[in-house]
Amino acid sequence: MTALLKIDNVSQTFVRNDKSSVEALRSIDLSINEGEFVSIVGASGSGKSTLLRIIDGLLAPSSGSVFVDGTKVDRPGPDRAMVFQQDSLLPWKTVIENVGYGLTLAGRPKAEVQAIAQRFIDMTGLRGFESHYPHQLSGGMRQRVNVARALAVDPKILLLDEPFAALDAQTREIMQTELLSIWQKSRKTVLLITHQIDEAVFLSDRVIVFSARPGCVKTEVAIDLPRPRDLDLKRHPAFIEQVDHIWKLIEAEVRAGVKQGA
């Protein structure tokens, strides 16, 4: 099977004026197939979000290359869409205007924008809120608008950078099931960055474990848990075993990072 996303020997070093350089990533090799849901976990500062910015074309790697469907990435493009930690919605636009914003910028006809936006509003469970403004929505609903906006431009790859980090624990759990439902309907290829190991296991086909900085692929763990999944799975011994296994792979590095920050 040909990989939709291929990361080929990507490294990233940040050179700072009058300060020592910081090596964020070292020799990342990773392939993701079409329709896969893959997560990356690792200690804070291991370069996970930096890699996502390189894949999105927002940052050029110091060395190595990224390919989407065989084409080298050298800038942002419509084949990738990023969802950040904060919802970044336009506060003066309604839900349907926010969802259709990327299509509007692309010059698509208004009727077409409305129809596509409505499709993804329905898919993300936001029907009835089309005329609401962001300040009238809960945090979880705003992130659903964010995901709908990303999907509306029909990217090949959805890049998620800690999309639920700002949510409370209960809402985060519900949003995980919502994301799975959206993914099952859209069948997009998804790469998720998260600090929550249980979130990665619950959502993913594979979990990529990064080492501490400079980040590199320490190992990958195949998640052989049945789909479709619901929150009851998190109480299953096989799920707990997977979470514990991944935690043990990064525990020493996480603890060392906490001590350094203290």
What is the tens place of the pLDDT at every residue in 183-202? Answer: 998 889 999 999 999 999 99
What's the confidence (pLDDT) of residue 262? 39
What's the confidence (pLDDT) of residue 15? 86
What's the confidence (pLDDT) of residue 244? 96
Question: In Å, what is the CA distance from 122 to each residue of 105, 118, 249?
Answer: 22, 6, 40
* Residue type, position 72, single letter: K
Are 37 and 222 in contact, with CB atoms under 8 Å apart?
A: no
Lookup: tokens for 47? 């370069």
pTM for the whole thing? 0.92
* DSSP string for residues in 83-119: E-SS----TTS-HHHHHTHHHHHTT--HHHHHHHHHH
DSSP 3-state helix, strand, coil percentages of the chain (rounded to 5)? 40, 25, 35
**Cα(183)–Cα(8) distance, integer angstroms:** 26
**Cα(215)–Cα(10) distance, integer angstroms:** 11
Q: Confidence class of residue 257 from pLDDT cuts 50, 70 and 90? A: low
Three-class secondary structure of residue 210 per DSSP = strand
User: Looking at residue 134, what DSSP letter applies?
Assistant: G
17-58: per-residue pLDDT in tens?
777 889 999 999 999 999 999 999 998 888 999 999 999 999
- CA-based nearest residue to 52, from 149, 192, 188: 192
What's the confidence (pLDDT) of residue 40? 97
Structural domains of the chain ordered from first start? 1-79+155-231 (3.40.50.300), 91-154 (no CATH)
Are 203 and 67 in contact, with CB atoms under 8 Å apart?
A: no
**Cα(48)–Cα(100) distance, integer angstroms:** 29
